[in-house]
Amino acid sequence: MRRALFTLVPLLAVLIVSAREPAKPVPAASISPAARDRGVYHLADDAEARWVPFDLTPGNQIRFTMQLEGRDVTAILDTGVSYTLLAKASPAVDTAKLVAGGSARAIGGSVELGWMPTRTLAIGGLARTGGGVTVTDLPAIATGSLSAVDLLVGADLLAGHALDIDYAAHRFRLLPSGRLPFKGGAAPLRVSPERSVYESTATLGGRRLAPVIVDTGDGSSITVTKDGWKAAALNVPSTTAISFGLAGPAVSGLAIAPDVRLGELTAHAVEVRIEPAGGFSQSIGVAGRIGSGFLQNYRVLLDPGARRMVLSPGPKAGTPPLRSTSGLLVGVEKNRLKILHVMRGGPAAASGWKDGDTICTIDGTPIPPDYATSPVASWSAGAPGRIVALGLCDGTIRKLELTHFY
């Protein structure tokens, strides 16, 4: 079963770095990541057998362990990141090697970057010698967890090979480009020369949207620009939601689209985020994103070298998306829940809830340490007509009747 809490609050970790080469020699600290040493890559002969186990964060992101400079580090697989990013707070940062590296666009605004050269890096059957990583602040909220990860593994490390993600078995592997380990619906895929991320196309309401970023680091399902949603002309109700990127929060529209087509595959009843005018996608010149909230319903092959993405339906494909019936999107803060967003048109908005309110009990039960994966979390998308007693941390009890509203 999907997690009720963060399926409704997908957390994003998208980073786009300029890939332009410098026009003339400049100091090392100001050279873009694209102009730095890219390193030497080697895929082991037995890479096919070297599956990497992972778990899904509460924000639907692929979290796993890899090696940096011979030490284990935690990482997120993020095809929406141009260049692999190391958290500034990670013990793996060598401050003696760290130099300033400019800035980058991210969801919520922009972030300052550093650059750190590396000697060795390894993921499953793939090893790299030389090269380096970008460095910036990577807060825990970017993964929906109470603890942060060390790395976001980006397109620079992944794009030279085929990436086989078996969501049902919670494992992935890197293969030689051109391999086709399973059958499924194919859609176009490339690494954009402008943005250095994975891109495809999608069709919504008969309207072709291109390009759309294929972003395993985005915990939401499908995201489109306001113009794209308007062009699709879908007559369905909508509400609002909040997401979190490296640069902070962003509020978007939220609706359930009757169908979305990706190449040969048609998916029904798909959750769609609608970015406001001037939002992240529009600012970088794309029509939207395909996130892990959608991809996790399939076994996925991403092979930009062979120009294809292949999707094979998994056990959860065809399951209707979980919808909020409370109208409250919450985050976990130790023994309490903090209201991150009150959804437009929902029962919580009608009864006066505000962003920042805190909840310490649900129907008299204190918030457990494992709230995000506990049965208690299901209240926010419970059966319409149920009345939930929510205990605020000041001792006040508020009752909320759950309702379908989008």
State the pLDDT confidence band at 30, using cuts at 50, 70 and 90: low
As a whole number, the mean pLDDT across the chain is 89
Q: Which residue has the higher pLDDT, 20 or 62?
A: 62
State the pLDDT confidence band at 33, using cuts at 50, 70 and 90: low
Contact 219, 5 (CB under 8 A): no
In this predicted structure, the answer to whether residue 216 has a pLDDT above a threshold of 60 is yes
The per-residue DSSP string of 249-299 comes to EEEEEEEEEEEEEETTEEEEEEEEEEPPTT-HHHHTT-SEEEEHHHHTTEE
Taking residues 232-249, report their average pLDDT: 86
> Over pLDDT 70: what percentage of the chain?
88
In this predicted structure, the answer to whether residue 23 has a pLDDT above a threshold of 80 is no
Q: Quick one: 406 exposed, middle or buried, by C-beta within 10 A (0-12, 13-18, 19+)?
A: buried
Q: Which residue has the higher pLDDT, 311 or 59?
A: 311
Please tell me the predicted confidence (pLDDT) of residue 6. Answer: 34
Element (H, E) at 347: helix 347-350
Taking residues 372-382, report their average pLDDT: 91
3-state class (DSSP) for residue 357: coil
CA distance 361 to 363: 6
List, in order, residues 6 or more apart from 324 with CB less than 8 Å away. Answer: 8, 239, 343, 346, 380, 381
List, in order, residues 6 or more apart from 352 with CB less than 8 Å away. Answer: none
Cis peptide before 211 (omega within 30 of 0): yes
Please tell me the predicted confidence (pLDDT) of residue 112. Answer: 83
CA distance 389 to 213: 41
CA distance 183 to 294: 18
Contact 105, 280 (CB under 8 A): yes
CA–CA distances in Å: residue 42 to residues 39, 121, 124, 129: 10, 11, 11, 9
Taking residues 67-77, report their average pLDDT: 97
Q: Given the DSSP bridges, would you call strands 238-245 and 120-123 parallel, antiparallel or unpaired?
A: unpaired
312: tokens are: 């094979």
In degrees, rounded to 5, the angle at the alpha carbon of residue 311 between the alpha carbons of residues 307 and 313 is 175
Please tell me the predicted confidence (pLDDT) of residue 27. Answer: 40
State the pLDDT confidence band at 108, using cuts at 50, 70 and 90: low
Tens of pLDDT, residue by residue over 381-395, are: 999 999 999 999 999
In this predicted structure, the answer to whether residue 200 has a pLDDT above a threshold of 70 is yes
CA R_g for the chain? 21
State the pLDDT confidence band at 107, using cuts at 50, 70 and 90: low
Q: Please provide the size of the chain in residues.
A: 406
Contact 252, 20 (CB under 8 A): no
In this predicted structure, the answer to whether residue 42 has a pLDDT above a threshold of 90 is yes
Please tell me the predicted confidence (pLDDT) of residue 277. Answer: 93
In this predicted structure, the answer to whether residue 109 has a pLDDT above a threshold of 70 is no
Q: What domains can you pick out in the chain, each with its CATH number?
A: 4-175 (2.40.70.10), 185-313 (2.40.70.10), 328-401 (2.30.42.10)
Contact 219, 62 (CB under 8 A): no
Q: Which residue has the higher pLDDT, 159 or 101?
A: 159
Half-sphere exposure of 320 (CA within 13 A, CB side): 7
CA distance 376 to 4: 9
Taking residues 113-121, report their average pLDDT: 95
3-state class (DSSP) for residue 141: helix
In this predicted structure, the answer to whether residue 10 has a pLDDT above a threshold of 70 is no
Give strand pairing partners of 215. 291
Tens of pLDDT, residue by residue over 156-170, are: 999 999 999 999 999
3-state class (DSSP) for residue 277: coil
